[in-house]
């Protein structure tokens, strides 16, 4: 990245875009502080979430922030991403599987795009600016919402695409049993849901011996409801960046890859 481009990034930020099941959100990010430089713009996710339709929304969001110039754009995706290819499509159109989504978004936006898993984006943002900042060792972010996303960092370095919500525990997949959606669907109390999550976290402790769990996703705003019900040895913190984490992590990743 040129000195002129870096100066522009400092003044106007790097654009981060977070693709969700119901909405696609974007904003420029100040990478020194991890703060958004303007209000997020949210556009509903097109029905069916087909690649070309989602790419059109990404291009629309890029046009909303001309102050970010021709710099890189970071985009999150709710699935496995490797080398710019999307390799899974649990909650979006099956046309994403095996697609070079980096190239699709780059063509649509007319600017270089870097793609990464949505939970991974939240994880790197929390590791740099949020609850995991300055924490050494193994930090694990778990995002509880419609599903369970995961991000695994060691000394701030991401191990991508862990997808730990799909682990099996006691003969069942964890995600449909312990997600935020499961709590709502089964009308679980916070205590009952916390018991399930505790069992899941204990399993992750045995596998990874983490130094910190960060709980993110839609339930991170309600830590006063669930924190007392999670009883494990590893320290637990609620995510600090909450709904902005995906945007921030996407922008950070795009800038680092451009460098």
Are both 235 and 250 inside the same structural domain? no
pLDDT bracket for residue 89 (50, 70, 90): confident
Q: Cβ distance 21 to 146 under 8 Å?
A: yes
Q: Tell me, yes or no, whether 34 and 143 share the same domain.
A: no
Contacts of 19 (CB under 8 A, 6+ apart): 45, 54, 58, 75, 76, 77, 78, 118
Residue 11 has pLDDT above 70, yes or no: no
Residues 81, 158, single domain; the answer is no
pLDDT in tens, 179-226: 999 999 999 999 999 999 999 999 999 999 999 999 998 888 899 999
Q: Residue 251 falls within a domain, yes or no?
A: yes
In the chain, how many domains are there? Answer: 2
Residue 161 lies in a domain: yes
Residue 101 φ/ψ region, left for φ over 0, alpha for ψ in the -120 to 50 degree band, beta for the rest: alpha
Judge whether 198 and 232 are in contact, CB under 8 Å.
yes
Angle at 60 between CA 57 and CA 62, to 5 degrees: 110
Residue 127 lies in a domain: no
Residues 249 and 212 in one domain: no
Write down the pLDDT at residue 10: 54
Q: 167 and 71 in one domain?
A: no
Rounded to two decimals, what is the model's pTM? Answer: 0.91
Mean pLDDT of 39-64: 96
Task: Report the CATH number at residue 222.
Answer: 3.30.420.40
Q: What is the pLDDT of residue 21?
A: 83
Q: Report yes or no on 100 lying in a domain.
A: yes
Q: Does residue 210 form part of some domain?
A: yes
Asked if the model's pLDDT at residue 90 lies above 80, the reply is no
Residue 112 pLDDT greater than 70, yes or no: yes
Per-residue pLDDT at 221: 86
Structural domain range at position 248: 3-120+244-258
Question: Given a cut of 70, is residue 33 above it in pLDDT?
Answer: yes
- Determine the average pLDDT of the residues in 84-104: 93
119 vs 9, residue with greater confidence = 119
| Domain co-membership, 84 together with 178 | no
- Summary mean pLDDT of the chain: 93
Residue pair 146/179 in contact (Cβ under 8 Å)? The answer is yes
Q: What distance in Å separates the CA atoms of residue 226 and residue 125, rounded to the nearest whole number?
A: 23
């Amino acid at each position: 990245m040129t000195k002129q481009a870096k100066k522009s990034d400092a003044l106007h930020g790097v654009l981060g875009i977070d693709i969700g099941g119901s909405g696609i959100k974007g904003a420029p990010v100040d990478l020194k502080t991890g703060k958004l430089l303007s209000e997020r713009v949210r556009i509903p996710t097109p029905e069916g979430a087909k690649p070309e339709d989602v790419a059109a929304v990404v291009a629309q969001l890029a046009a909303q922030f001309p102050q970010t110039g021709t710099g890189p754009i970071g985009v999150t995706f709710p699935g496995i991403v490797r080398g710019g290819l999307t390799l899974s499509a649990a909650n979006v159109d099956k046309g994403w599987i095996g697609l070079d989504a980096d190239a699709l978004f780059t063509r649509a936006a007319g600017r270089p795009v870097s793609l990464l898993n949505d939970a991974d984006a939240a994880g790197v943002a929390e590791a740099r600016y949020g609850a995991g900042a300055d924490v050494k060792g193994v930090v694990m972010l778990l995002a509880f919402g419609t599903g369970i996303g995961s991000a695994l960092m060691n000394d701030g370095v991401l191990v991508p695409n862990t997808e730990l919500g799909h682990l099996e525990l006691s003969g069942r997949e964890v995600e449909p049993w312990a997600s935020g959606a499961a709590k709502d669907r089964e009308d679980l109390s916070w205590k009952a849901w916390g018991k399930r999550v505790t069992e899941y976290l204990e399993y992750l402790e045995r596998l990874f011996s983490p130094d910190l769990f960060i709980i993110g996703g839609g339930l991170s705003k309600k830590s006063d409801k669930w924190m007392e019900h999670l009883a494990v040895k590893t320290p637990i913190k609620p995510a600090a960046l909450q709904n902005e984490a995906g945007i921030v992590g996407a922008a950070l990743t795009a800038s680092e890859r451009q460098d």
